[in-house]
Chain A
């Protein structure tokens, strides 16, 4: 790993942006692992690592429908931290450990999001009188404070991830076979997540047939490559 301080700061800023993007604003799909990972790779000057980490975590993200009140993992800041760990190392060796770090952080991020939502609700209760009086200033204040809370959550999550990544790069050195095994397990679980999510989303009708056709075409193309 060994990233410059400026790079770490840029990654923390990027992690904050993608954490905010998941729900709060602007939902521009920057928080998708593929996008978050690719740009983090550009920042860390290792695009290959960014894309490799982004693709494997995107397979997990395909299993998630980020709808309303459902608790879902936050893959954005987690992907940024995982890319920081995987950067400038042979990706076959580092992908498994990076994916493990990202999955733990993603779950933590989803849990932290619940805390932010509860804090938003408490703030609304505190301003109930102002809202009942139709004070536009109170609405603006609640909105900005909530955005700030989510930005704090995203920044905290990214910084935690970067610190753990720096620690893991220094002290966690699995032997070659263990590292390769972890990478393969992460990839296998990612495939299970993507296929499972796609089958569940397809239901039983025409969509399932189209999914089957797609899987057949994709498998054939992968074998021919």
Chain B
């Protein structure tokens, strides 16, 4: 099977045609094309069927999409029945979504963003920002390569390969570190931003923060901090106009 590197590169745009009908489906079909290329000469009918399946509905965390891509491509080359390939693809949606979101959105990203915020707040300038981008992309590239390799090696057995890999342990283990780092970063970033203001102003800002947190707790769903911020700023301007 050739075209692994091209498939890996195309995985970086797997969400490029995201839509409410097939979600990542077309992006997966786009990434699968180089992998399925050899099938076109070996078995043209199978190649056409595989291409159709590759662009059907699919959704998961984009950073782990390589696992499903590799596994389904391998299953196509092994000659697995079409329904089995489709079932494998569907079965991978939820676990890859949950594991990827836990690992990246609730783990790696908050940890690295938190560290970058701490660095900026401590006066390191642009370096923490550069470090964040480099580290995140190194981690993401490593995971993308591992995902595609593991998928291609395991084929229909990919679920077992995932279960015995580092992925479930890391996905569930990184959460507390992310929470701690974000916890340290927020007061430091706030302190850095407040450093040029008088104490009275800082107290006022903290009152705004407390009101925002209270409203979020009371209102629950439907309340967004962006709306709160805009409403609070509009109220502040109105108050200033009235006083003036």
Contact = CB atoms under 8 A, between A and B. Distances in A.
Nearest to A119: B19
Interface string B101-145: 100011001101100110011000110010011001100100000
Query: Which of B129, B188, B208 has the most chain A CB within a 10 Å cutoff?
Result: B129
B5 interface: no
A207 to B, nearest CB: 4
B144 to A, nearest CB: 11
A63 B185 contact: no
A155 interface: no
B169 interface: no
Contacts of B179: 198, 201-202, 207-208, 210-211, 214
A207 B33 contact: no
A136 B40 CA distance: 11
Describe A's contact surface by its main secondary structure: helix
B49 to A, nearest CB: 7
Contacts of A136: 29, 33, 51
B229 to A, nearest CB: 4
Contacts of A188: 204-209, 212, 232
A216 to B, nearest CB: 8
A97 to B, nearest CB: 9
Contacts of B52: 131-134
B140 to A, nearest CB: 8
A195 B209 contact: yes
Interface string B34-62: 00000000000001111110110001001
Interface string B176-215: 1111111111111111111011000110111111111100
A27 B101 CA distance: 14
Query: Which of A73, A184, A211 has the most chain B CB within a 10 Å cutoff?
Result: A184
Interface residues of B, number: 95
Interface string A198-220: 10011000111111111111110
Nearest to A22: B15
Contact of A218 (B113, B183, B216, B232): B183
Given A208-B179, A210-B177, A120 B229 contact: no
A198 B233 contact: no
Contact of B205 (A177, A187, A216): A187
Interface stretch (A9-17, A143-151, A157-165): A143-151
Contacts of B97: 68
B77 interface: no
26 contacts: A24-B15, A24-B16, A25-B12, A26-B12, A29-B133, A29-B137, A51-B125, A62-B182, A120-B26, A124-B21, A131-B29, A134-B50, A184-B204, A191-B190, A193-B229, A194-B186, A196-B212, A201-B110, A201-B179, A210-B177, A211-B179, A213-B180, A214-B181, A214-B184, A215-B183, A222-B187
Interface of A: 23-30, 32, 34-35, 38, 42, 47, 51-52, 54-56, 58-60, 62-63, 65-69, 73, 92, 96, 99-100, 103-104, 106-107, 117-118, 120-121, 124-125, 131-136, 139-140, 142-143, 145-147, 150, 174-175, 177-178, 180-182, 184-198, 201-202, 206-219, 221-223, 225
Given A27-B15, A107-B226, A146-B16, 4 more contacts: A30-B133, A34-B117, A124-B22, A143-B16
